[in-house]
Amino acid sequence: MKEERRAWSPGWVWRLRPDAPDWLRSCLAAIPGLDREAGAELLKETGRRRSIWKWRPASGPLLFIKHYGRPRFWKQLKYLFRNSRTQQEWEVALALEARGFPVVRHWALGEKFRAGLLKEDYLVQDYLPGFRNFDRFWEEELVGKRKRKLRQERNALIAELARLIRRLHDQGVWQRDFKPDSVMVTRIAQGFDLKLVDLERVRLLSQSRGLSLRRRLDNLAKVDQTFGFLGNTADRLRFWRTYWEQPGLPPLPGKEGFARVGALAEDKFRRRAREREIWPVSVNSVYNSFEQGPWRVHYHREIPEEWLRELVAELAASGADLFQSKIQNLKSKITGNPIRLSLRPARGAFRPGWPWGFGGAGYGLKLVAHLYYRRVPFVPARAALLRKRGGDFFPGYLVALDPGPPFQTWNQTGPEIAAEAGEFLRVLHRMGLTLGRVQADSFLVDPERPKGRRLYLFRVEDLILGRTPDPDEAERRLGQVVEMLAWPNYATMELRKAYRGASRRWFKEKERW
């Protein structure tokens, strides 16, 4: 596995696996033009930097292909001295496969350079039909009414994952970005088949000594943060016991180790809260921007720029009142649906740590990136209009797309959503998101969706980011909700009970209106 065959197509350098078949070499020239190839399907695209394709060549199996566009200039310089993401994943995949780990098969790595700097690259892997990421498999296959049978299967899958992670640690494999998308799962006759993917952040340390205790605990804390099944305390303990009861580790009592992992997970969350404030905005291509007259406009990519330019011109010509009416008139042009644009004056104290230096309007828009990153169900399409000078002191405007019927506010829907509201609020608090101001339209309800998935966060600008409330503060926040909603006593009790008993620690899917 250490040797690689090299093949060249015009402008490209390709590295092939040692056992590369003839069909692979024959299709290399077609890979840089996948958008023109018959049968190629674009699965995902992240801005201009990354795209993921599925393609079946004329002769060969179904392939999963990652394409990375030109890196930022400082990264191009960095890649002169260290591996790029694709090169790192390529080398780690071959090394782990040689050690006998269940890794998705990597067929080829293609790189194109200009003036000695990396311009773009491709990574070709096996496509895994029937496989799903760990959390999705867990939710779709192992959560249901057949409790006894499902419990046995759940326990078996937990044990399988714990043994795989333990084996990685024992051989010095440090996966610094452990998440459900890193482990693909499917059923087989004897249980479950697990495959490791997304290996660009794996480091290979001493194979003989394995990972140190500190790194093991830190890695387990990362797993504790990201894998959904660990929201259940019994499953967390079972995973921990299976991991630690394997021979060869120094003794560490289960309760003590469990407590240390929990403390590390909390500490990891707090230490990286600052990074999370900047990362979603700088990396996720959620926004576009332009300047017009005295205004600077940052807007979500779902809002057409030409309509915002018209709105800004109307604001400059006729003031906020007519601007409001103009927004109402544009509703059908923007979406074709019964949706209105509402203008919200957004005054607020300066919020430090935000690269745009926004006041209230910018703060509300900033949170959109965080909610995407944390998979919170919310109404996303909005824009912030701010003055280019004095934007922290003069009022800005937060323009939000407000859905009409059948959506209702949680106040209008009434006590029937008490349990859902309690669970939703608990998950927000666990993720470090708190409603600083509770309003009748803080949440919207879609009555056409199934129970448990009807709530959407709407008043994004009212959130306080990066603070997990302690029990006293949480009780005070619940009191504000109860006071605003003014539901009957039975509904209030149901909301509080659902809040205290909620087992979910994050939102499972990226639901958006």
Query: pLDDT at position 396, please?
Result: 63
What element of type H or E holds 303? none
Q: Which CATH class is domain 5-126?
A: alpha beta
pLDDT of 9 strictly over 70: no
What angle do the packed helices 254-271 and 233-244 form, to 10 degrees? Answer: 110
Same CATH fold assignment for domains 5-126 and 132-271: no
Domain segments of the chain: what residues?
Answer: 5-126, 132-271, 279-396, 408-501
CA 130 vs CA 77, 81, 194: distances in Å: 39, 39, 12
DSSP string, 65-94: EEEE-PPPHHHHHHTTTS--HHHHHHHHHH
Residue tagged 């690259």 (tokens): 121
Could you tell me the two tokens for 40? 């190629």
* Residue ranges with strand state E in 425-475: 433-435, 443-445, 455-457, 463-465
User: Lowest-confidence range among 9-23, 30-44, 166-180, 224-238?
Assistant: 224-238
Residues 6+ apart with CB under 8 A from 476: none
377-422 per-position pLDDT tens digit = 887 667 777 666 554 445 566 677 667 677 888 888 889 999 999 9
467-483 per-position pLDDT tens digit = 778 888 888 889 999 88
The CATH fold assigned to 132-271 is Transferase(Phosphotransferase); domain 1 (1.10.510)
At 373, the amino acid letter reads: Y
Query: Is-contact 194 274, C-beta < 8 A?
Result: no
Query: Is-contact 498 422, C-beta < 8 A?
Result: yes
Residue 55: name the closest of 134, 132, 133, 108 by CA: 108
Beta bridge partners of 342: 400
Mean pLDDT of 90-108: 93
What angle do the packed helices 147-170 and 134-141 form, to 10 degrees? Answer: 160
User: Which alpha helices (H) appear in 471-511, and where do they start and end?
Assistant: 471-485, 489-501
325-358 per-position pLDDT tens digit = 555 555 444 444 444 455 555 444 333 333 333 3
Query: Is-contact 222 178, C-beta < 8 A?
Result: yes
167-210 per-position pLDDT tens digit = 999 899 999 888 888 999 999 888 899 999 999 889 999 888 88
Residue 481: name the closest of 404, 429, 403, 407 by CA: 429
pLDDT of 103 strictly over 90: yes
- Does this model's pTM top 0.85? My answer is no
* SS3 state at 190: coil
- Residue 296 backbone phi and psi in degrees, to 5: -115, 125
Query: Is-contact 495 422, C-beta < 8 A?
Result: yes
Whole-number Å distance between alpha carbons of 30 and 24:
11
Name the architecture of domain 408-501: Orthogonal Bundle (1.10)
Residue 139: name the closest of 239, 52, 231 by CA: 231
